[in-house]
Chain A
Amino acid sequence: MLAYVLRRLWQTVPTLLGVVLLVFFLFNWVGGDPAYLLAGKISNPQQIESIRRQLGVDQPAYVQLWIFTKQIASGDFGASWATNEQVSEIFATRLGPSLTVLIPLLVIETLLAMAAAMLVAYLRGSLADRLVMIGCTVGQSISILVYIILFQYLLAYRLGWFPVQGWGNSFAENLFTYSLLPVIVGVIVSLAPNTRLYRSFFLDEISQDYVRTARAKGLSEARVLWVHVLRNASIPIITNVMIQLPGLLAGAFLIERFFSIPGIGREVFLAVERSDFPVIKAVTVYVAIATMLSNLLADLLYKAFDPRVQLK
């Protein structure tokens, strides 16, 4: 087990190296000279030269790459170009709000999608199944933007059930007041695609021989579904959730932007808008690391749920 984890961690090294190279290439060659971006419109050659020296972009590429690698290893990406706040500080303060929205969102959405998927898979081919599937297809075709705009307008602006946007100081206030509507919108948006996906996972299992055997030996339908089928179908579902997890951290930026939640996603959006390269670089590298680790975690969870899985 330990040997497996160590080997997997070792295997992520080349990938991580590639991510570092890709990000370095993007921001140092494609992005152009950052000194001009930083100096803005009113600048003279001396200013540009001093900024270049400060950032280290006057050094040869391999020195810059080494500096970047050291930054990643130490977690010290320096200060944001736009706000002069330390990048590590930005991460530390923005992670909390992001998780306050994302964890309830992920838990509620996964449970609901699994319940809906199990139900329609059980009723396969019936009118209810077909209606839910049509609903999912149509629901999926509407842009996430429309959901956010409409729900914010109707439920918060017109009906006043929720605050339109904002963020408070206490955790309880944030969780029970400000993150309610973002969570609802997030659940509705991700419910349709995930129900469709999980339905296919359940369908794969429901027609297996072991299900027939379980029924033949007289088990109740509830036990067949909730114990036999669910346990097997949950394996691909776990992978799906784990793979989604790091992407959500940055991907929830639309929700965070609309509802003014000071999370990682909104920070990414602001950084892109202001060409704040240190922040984008740091987020990209760390989210890539998180992705690799959560893939590993997903494989370990596999083992816990399915004893037949051999880790090699």
Chain B
Amino acid sequence: MIQPAGNARAESPGLWALAWRRFRHDRVGLVALDVVLFFVALMAASASGLIASDWSREVGVSHAPPTFMGPERSAPHAAAGPTGASGPARGAEDRDSGVADPLARILAEIRGTNPAASGDTDVVDPLAQVLAQIRGEYSVDTATDTRAPTLIFGADKWGRDVLKKALKGTETSMFVGLTAAALAVLLGTLFGALAGYFGGWIDDVFNWIYSVFTSIPYLLLILAIAAVLNQKGTMTVILILSLTGWTGIFRLIRAEYMKHKTREYVQAADALGASHTRRMFVHILPNVSHVVLVQLSLHVVLFIKSEVVLSFLGFGVGVDTVSWGSMLNEAQSELLIGNWWQLAAATLAMALLVTAFGLLTDALRDALDPKLK
């Protein structure tokens, strides 16, 4: 570990300055960093409502293809026009009734299309009044709207802009990935620091917990926790992922602390009367922070992937939130009728971010630990 000499005459560069110097020459790493920063900016813009805040509005005709493909010829009502209760939306709804979405009808009602289209008038809907009210409010908005025959990246079944959904999904997936990774790294670092620094029975206890958690395969543990929590939502996903994902970080940090606690600088801190907490988190932690940073980056990728699978299966984010996983879920049935754009949008956005994060992790590791090859 390179420490600043603390000498006023010849200030030698610290760990981070040296790492940055190495990182600057890594062109792949720099590009990856730019892409990741771009996605972070997208997340911030989307979270603050600057972009894609109206992702759930139905701006296009149902299954509107991407612009470069031109409007769909097979659909007679695909031309732009006012959406009345029996306008293009309804025609499109009927057309794809072959692909059964169990919620399609309910959603169609909420969205304000003609309830007669759903055809189950003999069942008394206890929410009919509420729905009528919602419908009334909605129709003010949409009645004067025109629906676009094509959108830049196409539209989904309900005519929502796929590009906006992908942007909003970026926000969800990145938020889950970053927050869960931060929490998991926090837990892993804290446990690893305690176990590695104190040793003895504290180490035994944490190692026991570690071996219990790692003897259950990761995905199985996630599913088991999802089963008992039995509620969806962004916060639940973050909790599940971080509570199960800290083990690898714990192991690494523990090893680092065991190595560092006998070093001279820690002994010096002890001689100066620094408390245990101070030695652990003020003296040792900065010297192992490069491990923490690499692990953080690594786990963001892992958690984004896990979130996508969880949301796809319906154990993830809530139904009112869009994520890449829920987009893939919709895309699965859309693909059967030849609509590939939602699948492509979610896959592209995810692949770009995950690749960039992966390359960034490699670059960080190379820059921070030059001995490693």
Contacts and interface: CB of A to CB of B under 8 A. Distances in A.
B215 A288 contact: yes
B224 A18 contact: no
A137 to B, nearest CB: 6
Interface in A134-155: 137-138, 140-146, 149-150, 153
Contacts of B229: 30
Give the dominant DSSP class at B's interface: helix
Interface in B308-360: 308-309, 312-315, 324-325, 328, 331-332, 335-336, 343, 347, 350-355, 358-359
Contact of A284 (B220, B315, B355): B220
Contact of B315 (A141, A272, A291): A272
Given A137-B355, A271-B227, A143 B220 contact: no
B126 to A, nearest CB: 14
Nearest to A26: B228
A287 B220 CA distance: 9
Contact of B313 (A16, A250, A269, A283): A269
Contacts of A287: 216-217, 220
Interface size on A, as a range, is: 35 or more
B172 to A, nearest CB: 15
Given A247-B218, A275-B227, A142 B212 contact: no
Given A30-B228, A142-B351, A253-B219, A18 B328 contact: no
B215 A141 contact: no
Contacts, number: 122
Given A31-B230, A287-B217, A26 B224 contact: yes
B283 interface: no
Give the dominant DSSP class at A's interface: helix
A300 interface: no
Given A14-B208, A22-B212, A27-B228, A251 B217 contact: yes
Interface of A: 14-16, 18-19, 21-23, 26-27, 30-32, 137-138, 140-146, 149-150, 153, 157, 246-247, 250-251, 253-254, 268-269, 271-273, 275, 277, 280, 283-284, 287-288, 291-292
Pick the 10 closest A-B CB pairs, nearest first: A247-B217, A18-B212, A141-B354, A31-B228, A141-B355, A272-B227, A250-B220, A288-B215, A141-B351, A15-B211
Given A15-B211, A19-B215, A149-B332, 14 more contacts: A26-B224, A27-B228, A31-B230, A138-B351, A143-B309, A145-B312, A145-B325, A250-B219, A251-B220, A275-B230, A277-B227, A280-B227, A283-B220, A291-B214
Interface of B: 208-209, 211-221, 223-230, 305, 308-309, 312-315, 324-325, 328, 331-332, 335-336, 343, 347, 350-355, 358-359
